[in-house]
A = this chain, B = another copy of it.
């Protein structure tokens, strides 16, 4: 129910603003007995971290995660797992309280909804929130060791040749602009039967999860939009369904694509600050985290309803 939370059984909620003291994630419903320490989470955060790539934002956040509860002597206890990441490189002074809403950002929408907003770096709407998702996703991965999730950028600014991306991005940066991109996520090892029909369909929940990631504007499952141009007999082709049928995993690889728009934080729109010229790279680990979180939840959901049958 909670608008800042996600999941039914393996459930998490995130909190924190971009330039507040910290951000965090609270995980509830994690199975007990799993080996878990900060070292299981940190590598995923490092991969998402701003400043990790010369092509990304220069904000220098170490993103050190601490586990505050739910783990005893290196094992999950089944009680809530509280994760916290301090905001070390916050610069609230960059954002005066009376700054007008920035073009292309959620500032005006937050103002309209809430009547006020934390203006420092986008506040709650900042992509910084996705660090908490990645931390939670790292725990979710431990729940589904049978599953492998791999997301990667397959297109930047309409270009699929990786070798040309650095030049494209540098040109966009130099022009005070930015670029969009497409991320492909392939998930293997999902057992047949995970998922659910009708409203909790696995593809519906994955689509919602991916669309909840900042800057994502479109999601495809399997053949995606190409399916609209296919014929009935193409349903029998490999990868057409994308590993999900009737909302239930078929055992085939689950194939998803997400389209990231170009960031609005560009000088061309009059916005200054430390920003990525293309968020798809940092978006890929977030996509993976969301897929892990949906699948961990559905593993438990399937075990709940169908775990007792012979």
Could you list which residues of chain A lie within 8 angstroms of chain B, going by C-beta atoms? 1-6, 8-9, 11, 13-17, 20-24, 26, 28-33, 66, 68-70, 72-73, 75, 77-82, 97, 103-106, 108-110, 112-119, 123-125, 129, 155, 157-158, 172, 176-182, 192-201, 203-205, 207-212, 217-225, 227-236, 240-242, 244-251, 259-266, 268-269, 277, 280, 300-310
Contact = CB atoms under 8 A, between A and B. Distances in A.
A79 B231 contact: no
Residue among A73, A181, A197, A247 with max Cβ neighbours from chain B (10 Å): A197
Contacts of A66: 21
Given A16-B69, A80-B13, A182 B228 contact: yes
A32 B212 contact: no
Contact of A15 (B6, B26, B124, B263): B26
B195 A201 contact: no
Given A197-B79, A235-B104, A2 B5 contact: yes
Instruction: Please give the count of copies of this chain that the complex contains.
Output: 4
Contacts of A1: 1, 8-9, 11
Contacts of A301: 3, 9, 304
B219 A123 contact: no
26 contacts: A1-B1, A2-B5, A4-B197, A14-B199, A16-B82, A20-B69, A24-B68, A32-B309, A33-B115, A72-B117, A75-B116, A80-B124, A103-B235, A114-B309, A115-B309, A125-B197, A157-B229, A179-B231, A201-B211, A204-B208, A218-B218, A218-B224, A220-B225, A232-B263, A303-B304, A303-B307
